[in-house]
Amino acid sequence: MTQANPIFHFSAAALAMVFLLLLPASIPHPALAWQQALQPRTLTFPRDHGQHGAFQTEWWYLTGNLTAKNGRRFGFQFTLFRRGVRKQAATDNLWAVRDLYLLHSSLSDFSRKHFYTYEDASRTGPGLAGASRDTLKTWFKGNLLQWDGNKTISLHCQTDNYALDFTFSPDYPRPILHGDRGLSRKGPGQGQASYYYSLPRLLTSGTITLDGKPYRVSGLSWYDHEFATSQLGKDQQGWDWISLHLDDGSSLMIYQLRRKDGTVSPFSSGTFIFPDGRYEHLHRADFSLTAAKRRWQSPDTGISWPLWWQLTLKKPRVLELSLRPKMVNQEMKTMKTTRTIYWEGSITAAENRNGEKTVKGEGYLELTGYGQNLPLSGSAGR
C-alpha cells in the first residue's frame, strides 16, 4: 500500500517488527530455544551480511539523501525485517514456516513536500521472501537487496508509486562494529543486547522512478544490519536514533533509549567514525541529545513529535549540532504490519559556532514510543 502523507517504520527502523501480533493461532510455540546476544562474537564478512536464523529478530536497513541531476532532492528508506516464528531443526521442506518477513519503504520528495510509504508482509517460501545464510542477499516479492561481489551492493525496490534502483559503494574500508566488537547492550539483563554493525557511508548512484518518470540520482546512504532475541526491557518506552553524514567525511550514530519514568537509559550509546574509517564507541556520558520545545503535531494521528534537537558531543571531538527535519511529515503508520506509529525521516545538521568554519551534514532520525507504547517491547529494538 502506498499513499502520500501517512504510514509506517520501527526500524528503522529502524522498532521493529512486532510480527507476533500477526501470527495465526495455529502456529505452534518454538520447539527449540532462540539464541541470545550474550557476549562479543567474531563477525566474518560476507557471511555475517546474511541471515542469522538462530536469533528471533533481524533486519537489514538502508536510508539515504539523494539529489537528481535537475536538482530535485529525495530521501529514502528501505528495511526488510525477519521475525522467527519458531526455532526448529533444519528441513528440506521449502514451505516450512520458520520466519515471517516485513518490508517497509518510504520516499521523501522534498521539492514537492510529498511523502510516500509502502509496507507488506510475507511468509518464507519460493518466490516470496527470504535471505541467504552465506552473504547479503535478501528478497521479498521481486524486491532485491544483495552484495554484488565486486564490493558494491545493489537494491531494487518496486512499489505502486515509485521504484528504487541503486548501487552502493562503501566509502570506509570495513564494517563499523557498534558497542563492544558488535555487541550493542540495551539493558542490564541477560540477553538485553543485539549484534549490530553498519556500513555508514555508502556512495550511492542510481535511479528513482516516480509516477513513471525516471530521475538519475546520487548521494550518500547508511546501511544497518542487526540481529537479536528479546533485547529490550519492560521499562522501555521508546528510542531516538540518529545517523549523520558530516561534510568533513566523518559519520555519527546516536541511540538514546527512553524509559517509562521519563529518564534516559544509561545504556544509550553511539559511535563516531573518522574520515579514514577508524571509529570510537560512545557511552551515555559522552553525548547529550535534547529535544527543543518546538514540536510538530501530526494531523493524522495527533502525536506530537520532537523533530528539532540539540546534539552535544564531548568526545572524541567536541561538537554542538542543531538538528532539524527537511520535511515534517515523515510519519510512519504501519497498521498492516507492525501496527506501530513512528517517525522516520531525513534531517539536516549544522554546528553551533560563531565566526568560524562550521561542520554541516545530513542524515536520518528515527523516533519511537511517542503517543504509543511499544507493543511486545521485549521483542523489538534497535
Model confidence at 18: pLDDT above 60? no
Average pLDDT, the chain: 88
CB neighbour list of residue 304: distance below 8 Å, 6 or more residues apart: 295, 296, 297, 298, 370, 371
The lowest-confidence range among 15-24, 166-175, 357-366 is: 15-24
Model confidence at 221: pLDDT above 90? yes
The DSSP result for 21-64, as a single string, is GG--TTSPPPSSPPP---S-----TTGGGS--TTSSEEEEEEEE
The lowest-confidence range among 93-97, 156-160, 229-233 is: 93-97
Cell of 264: 534516559
- Per-residue pLDDT band for 16 (boundaries 50, 70, 90) equals very low
Where do the H-state alpha helices sit in 284-347? none
234: left (phi over 0), alpha (psi -120 to 50) or beta: alpha
| pLDDT at residue number 97 | 72
What are phi and psi for residue 260, nearest 5 degrees?
-65, -20
56-77 pLDDT, tens digit each: 999 999 999 999 999 999 999 9
24-41 pLDDT, tens digit each: 333 444 446 899 999 999
Strand partners, 196: 226
What span, in angstroms and rounded, lies between the C-alpha atoms of 271 and 26? 42
Instruction: Considering only residues 97 and 170, tell me which one the structure prediction assigns the higher pLDDT.
Output: 170
| pLDDT at residue number 295 | 98
In the chain the first and final C-alpha atoms are separated, in Å, by 25
Q: Where do the domains of the chain lie?
A: 2-22+31-38+45-379
What span, in angstroms and rounded, lies between the C-alpha atoms of 267 and 163? 38
308-338 pLDDT, tens digit each: 999 999 999 999 999 999 999 999 999 899 8
What span, in angstroms and rounded, lies between the C-alpha atoms of 316 and 294? 29
Q: Which class does domain 2-22+31-38+45-379 fall in?
A: mainly beta
DSSP code, position 286: G
